[in-house]
């Protein structure tokens, strides 16, 4: 199997994608292409070069977060004029159930974070935000340094604290 991560396109086979979460399945099968066409997000898929079957995916979108959602000690360092802080939303991340536990989730997460760091070189970005679907997802993201925002069940990692994966 030769795997590649690339932007979702019409050649990708996504109809059988199943990560055991109906919302995340439906999203990549039915919604992702429309969101991309509307410039609302970019969807990256992990797929085999030959058969183009989607084994995993994630999405990135521009985003902002109310300053009151961040920990107060962090906000003390931010000018009050910034009511909302610039972020990138890693909106979804999922691996097909047949491929879980093989390190693909980590590969996609690192790929996403690298892109966020690259973007932060040209655009001010304080943090990357994720929206974990359940407690398992929270545990997964915590492993990589994401911090839970209890008020809205989102999690964040400061761009400054993302390890250098290169």
Ligand X SMILES: CC(C)(COP(=O)(O)OP(=O)(O)OC[C@H]1O[C@@H](n2cnc3c(N)ncnc32)[C@H](O)[C@@H]1OP(=O)(O)O)[C@@H](O)C(=O)NCCC(=O)NCCS
Give yes or no for a contact between 105 and 140, defined as CB atoms under 8 angstroms apart. yes
Give yes or no for a contact between 125 and 94, defined as CB atoms under 8 angstroms apart. no
- Enumerate residues 110-129 that contact ligand X by CB under 6 A: none
C-alpha span between 80 and 75 (Å, rounded): 8
- Judged by CB under 6 A, the stretch of 7-15, 60-68, 70-78, 137-145 that binds ligand X is 137-145
Total interface residues for ligand X by CB under 6 A: 21
φ, ψ of residue 60 to 5 degrees: the values are -125, 140
Work out whether 143 is an interface residue with ligand X (CB under 6 A). yes
Work out whether 15 is an interface residue with ligand X (CB under 6 A). no
- Enumerate residues 29-88 that contact ligand X by CB under 6 A: none
* Shortest distance, position 161 Cβ to ligand X, whole Å: 18
Q: Which two tokens stand for residue 63?
A: 């985003």
Residues 6+ apart with CB under 8 A from 56: 19, 45, 46, 93, 94, 95, 96, 99, 104, 105, 108
The residue (of 68 and 97) whose beta carbon lies closer to ligand X is 97
Which one among 21, 29, 61, 64 touches ligand X, defined by CB under 6 A? 21
Work out whether 148 is an interface residue with ligand X (CB under 6 A). no
DSSP state of 161: G
Which one among 71, 103, 124, 163 touches ligand X, defined by CB under 6 A? 103
* Shortest distance, position 80 Cβ to ligand X, whole Å: 32
C-alpha span between 83 and 64 (Å, rounded): 10
- Positions in the binding site for ligand X (CB under 6 A): 19, 21, 24, 92-95, 100-106, 132-133, 136-137, 139-140, 143
């Amino acid at each position: 199997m030769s795997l590649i991560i690339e932007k979702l396109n019409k050649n990708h086979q996504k109809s059988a994608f199943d990560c055991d979460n109906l919302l995340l399945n439906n999203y990549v099968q039915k919604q992702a292409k429309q969101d991309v066409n509307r410039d609302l997000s970019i969807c990256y898929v992990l797929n085999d070069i030959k058969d183009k079957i989607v084994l995993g995916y994630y999405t990135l979108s521009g985003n902002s977060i109310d300053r009151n959602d961040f920990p107060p000690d962090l906000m003390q360092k931010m000018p009050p004029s910034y009511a909302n802080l610039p972020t990138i939303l890693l909106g979804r991340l999922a691996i097909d159930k047949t491929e879980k536990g093989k390190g693909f989730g980590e590969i996609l997460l690192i790929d996403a974070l690298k892109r966020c760091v690259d973007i932060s070189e040209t655009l001010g970005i304080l943090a990357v935000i994720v929206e974990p679907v359940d407690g398992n997802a929270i545990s997964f993201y915590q492993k990589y340094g994401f911090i839970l925002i209890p008020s809205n069940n989102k999690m964040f990692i400061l761009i400054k604290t993302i390890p250098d994966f290169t």
